[in-house]
Structure 1
Amino acid sequence: MAAVKSPLSEAAQKVTGEALQGALVDLVDLGLYAKQAHWNLVGPRFKTIHEHLDEIVDLARTAQDDVAERAVAIGVNPDGRSRTVADRTEIQQLEPGYLNDEKVVLAVTGTLFEIIGRFRERIAATDEPDPVSQDLLIGITAELEKIHWMFQAQA
């Protein structure tokens, strides 16, 4: 089986691969998290928040594909398997059952804030070893921050 030869040094590949894998886990679980909230949302602001949650899902799915493809491009195998995501996620899970719209706004706002913090750490970590991956992470972070702002404004 042929492997993808990395354009990065072994050390740069390791640091960047870890950053991309962490981002992938965050994004896969963020998409699942937002869908769970989307399906169980109740309350007077249902329609607006319901649709806004789908925007998060769309962002997460697009970004996870971009991150995984970047990992492969630098010779790192992305791991988005359900067991890997479940074992490595840092996202606090939503409670089961119906979720009040106000609680969802607060939970999503907090979750996005935490994910953004981890993405900013990954941006710093990839500054020297791989500015191309760093640029990808910066773009995703900008989109996460925009959605965070929009959810925070609803709180």
Structure 2
Amino acid sequence: MTTSKLKYTVPGMSEADAERVVDLLQSRLNAANDLHLTLKHVHWNVVGPHFIAVHEMLDPQVDAVRGFADDLAERIATLGGSPVGTPGRLVEARTWDEYSIGRATTQEHLGALDLVYHGVISEYRDGITELEELDPVTQDMFIAQTEQLELFHWFIRAHLEDKSGSLSTAGADTERGAAKKAASKRTSRKKG
């Protein structure tokens, strides 16, 4: 996935290892750029009775994830790579679908975001495992970012959880499916 051969890397790391680490970093850079834009999209398009709570919960997440992107890009440069942050290259390289929910209720967006966070965190954890031998410095970065992403995911899931700990999105495998399940669970709670 690297676009060009590295001219140098950090002391003690082979060029082949550095190229693989740069690939992992670029993958997470793409995910962080996509996630912070998605979170801002939700911030602008969320409606309903819990609008202000969700609207205000998302801005710190946007800021943190935007910071992750900067850290990832700077690590790529430190390893002798060239980070790519252009929209076209992001769309070309991503392995996930475009966020599919527009103007919708808080529960619908939170349901969809549950799946978004699940995917992002899963990829980070895969990277953490691979980086164990390749580069503990980058692994530390991934671990720290994963800790924050898991916290943000918990914030999202707290809105989707019932008192028994069950998630309204359980079993959903698409954003639209998760949004629908979250919205219908909320509606059924109101009726009961």
Shorter-chain TM-score: what band?
Answer: over 0.9
What letter matches 1:141 in structure 2?
A: T
Alignment equivalent of 1:11, drawn from 13, 16, 25: 16
TM-fit CA distance, 1:136: 0.4
> How high is the TM-score relative to the length of structure 1?
0.93
Distance in 1 (CA, whole Å) between partners of 2:133 and 2:32 is 23
* Superposition deviation, residue 96 in structure 1: 5.5
Q: 3-state DSSP class of the match of 1:144? A: helix
Asked whether 1:54 is paired with 2:63, we answer no
SS at match of 2:123: helix
SS of 2:62's equivalent? Answer: helix
Match status 1:128 vs 2:148: no
Identity rate of aligned residues, in percent? 33
Aligned residues: 153
Q: Please list the CA deviations of residues 25-47 of structure 1 after superposition, one character each: whole Å capped at 9, or x if unmatched.
A: 00000011011111111011101
Match of 1:93 among 77, 94, 98: 98
Q: Read off the aligned partner of 1:13 and give its amino acid letter.
A: A
Code of the residue aligned with 2:142 in structure 1: it is L
Gaps of 5+ in 2: 1-5, 161-192
Larger radius of gyration: 2
Q: What CA distance in whole angstroms lies between the structure 2 residues aligned with 1:14 and 1:105?
A: 36
After TM superposition, the structure 1 = structure 2 runs for residues 108-147 of structure 1, keeping only pairs within 5 Å, are 108-147=113-152
Structure 1 residue 127, shift from structure 2 partner: 1.1
Q: Residue 107 of structure 1 aligns with which residue?
A: 112
Aligned-residue RMSD, C-alpha = 1.4
Whichever residue aligns with residue 157 of structure 2, its letter is Q
Counterpart of 2:134 in 1: which secondary structure? coil
Instruction: Measure the CA separation in 2 of the matches of 1:91 and 1:39.
Output: 22
Kept after mapping to 2: 8 A contact 1:4/1:73: no
TM-score calculated relative to the size of structure 2 = 0.76
Residue of 64, 89, 94 corresponding to 1:84: 89
CA displacement at 1:93 relative to structure 2? 2.7
Question: Does 2:151 align with 1:150?
Answer: no
What amino acid does structure 1 have at the position aligned with 2:131?
T
Q: Give the gaps of 5 or more residues in structure 1.
A: none
**Secondary structure of 1:12's partner?**
helix
